[in-house]
Amino acid sequence: MTRLLRTLTHTRPSSPHSTRTSHLTAQQRAAVARSLAPGLHLISGAPGTGKTEVVAQTIAELYHGAGSSESTDGTTTHRRQQRILVLAQSNTTLDALCSRVTQLGVSGAHLVRLGINSSGSRAKDNGGGHSSYDLSAQGRMNWCLQRRLYLLGLVSVLAQSLYVPGDVGGTCEVAHCFYSEHVRSRHERSILEASPSGADRASPFVAFAATPQFAAYCSAGGSATSASATTVDGIFTAVEGLFSELAQYRPLERLRTQSQRADFWLASRVSRSPPTSSFPDAPSKLPTEEENV
């Protein structure tokens, strides 16, 4: 099977382009910039000239939103989802790319790796919960499940800071109800009770924002996330992002075995090509999450 790495764009704030590429040479930065433009681009060079680094930097820029189109309807900004497909002739090259892009802020939950890992390699991750994850399909699923537990732990800390009783961090389903009934309502109430200028508006999540768990969560999200999480809107954006990510793991709670979870995650994350004329009755799209479940 063709070796594959696919990442999805994420709507979290991205760190500045200059910060991620500051260590590159002028030629490498130019190659990254050209790669983000439409069209076919060929990057060649002798071994050790940084071709893999250029590819990894290009993936990171696309993941963080560079080159994606945005349309505004007046109040809401919609970001077009990007799918990045990477093919390599060797597992070693692909493993190096996987390891490098995670160091550049690509979440392990957004990686789909097909093929056999070379020497059982592992990649460092900056997403919180644990320090590294296996690049295999099973290892990726373990990462997602551990990440789920990590986020649910944060939900429990948030509930304690709001004096909400009960085990609201038990499952993603319960956490979603907690968000709807307690988190979002408090945020909306703070907006309504503030003055028209909003100068006296206070965040209902100040106690949670002061916890070391929240600081670690924001720090893992990058410097931009850490900086924005000091404002009222920034704190809520970080909290909302926590529950938004948890929603991705809700279907995994309904599946009983690891193989079912891995198959579902792969099917829901990888797009298939439209059917050819040889199979006119083949489905033209993936089944929905409910159909998969």
- Residues 51-110: pLDDT tens digits? 889 999 998 888 887 544 444 444 434 445 567 888 888 888 888 888 888 888 887 667
Same domain, 291 and 158: yes
Same domain, 161 and 260: yes
Of the three residues 84, 107, 135, the one that is the final residue of a domain is 135
The values of phi and psi at residue 7, to 5°, are: -125, 155
Q: Is the pLDDT of residue 238 over 60?
A: yes
Same domain, 121 and 152: no
Amino acid at 50: G
- Residues 241-256: pLDDT tens digits? 999 999 989 988 888 8
- Residues 132-159: pLDDT tens digits? 556 566 777 888 888 899 999 999 999 9
* Percent over 70 (pLDDT), the chain: 66
Number of domains into which the chain is organized = 2
- The radius of gyration of the chain from alpha carbons, rounded to an integer in Å, stands at 21
Same domain, 131 and 142: no
Length of the chain: 293
- Residues 254-271: pLDDT tens digits? 888 888 887 887 777 655
Question: With contact defined as beta carbons under 8 Å apart, do 259 and 271 qualify?
Answer: no
Same domain, 107 and 247: no
Same domain, 142 and 211: yes
Q: Is the pLDDT of residue 16 over 50?
A: no
- Residues 204-235: pLDDT tens digits? 999 999 999 999 998 876 545 565 677 888 89
Same domain, 100 and 145: no
DSSP string over 171-214: -HHHHHHHIIIIIHHHHHHHHHHS-TT-TT---TTHHHHTSHHH
pTM score, two decimals? 0.62
Of the three residues 94, 118, 135, the one that is the final residue of a domain is 135
Q: Where are the alpha helices (DSSP H) in 75-136?
A: 91-103
As a whole number, mean pLDDT of residues 190-198 equals: 78
- Residue 222: which domain range? 138-293
At residue 135, the pLDDT reads: 59
Of the three residues 112, 135, 158, the one that is the final residue of a domain is 135
